[in-house]
Amino acid sequence: MRQHHGFGLELTKNSKTGWAFSLSRNDSCINATQICKKLCYGNGIRYRSDAQRQKRKRNFRTVEFLLDSGGPELLAENLIALIDQARPADWLAAKICGEPTSLPWSVRVHDVGDYPEFRTIPC
């Protein structure tokens, strides 16, 4: 999926769980303590590359933009479209026939980062 203007939602192929969607932990974990930051799963090797960090930052910016532009409904619509991309090619036929797909599949919606309200409450 080609990104324009710094926005776009993108999945990551996760070796343990298949497809995954995540946000920048530095941007989204607003209540993280120092211990939490030190022990975070997001410190692992798969999260250290600049490309991975940028993907999660773009996802975060896009989630905020979608919420500001159309609320949770627009965000849900875009997340569903993203999940549809992860379905195996035989998903529809398997569903119609009541059989499993040739390959098991899943989308982990939260492999790193947090899902706060994405807004600061004015004092």
Rounded Cα–Cα distance for residues 14 and 60 (Å): 18
For residue 42, pLDDT over 50 is answered with yes
Under 8 Å between Cβ of 25 and 112: yes
3-state secondary structure of 74: helix
- The pTM score is 0.76
Where is pLDDT greater, at 36 or 51? 51
Position 123 confidence tier, pLDDT thresholds 50, 70, 90? very low
Domain regions of the chain by residue span: 12-103
**Own/partner pairs, 72-77, CB within 8 angstroms, 24+ separation:** none
80-117, pLDDT tens digit by residue?
Answer: 999 898 899 999 999 999 999 988 888 887 766 666 55
Residue 81 — φ and ψ, nearest 5°?
Answer: -60, -40
Position 121 confidence tier, pLDDT thresholds 50, 70, 90? very low
Residues counted in the chain? 123
Partners of 18 in beta bridges: 14
53-70, pLDDT tens digit by residue?
Answer: 899 899 999 999 999 999
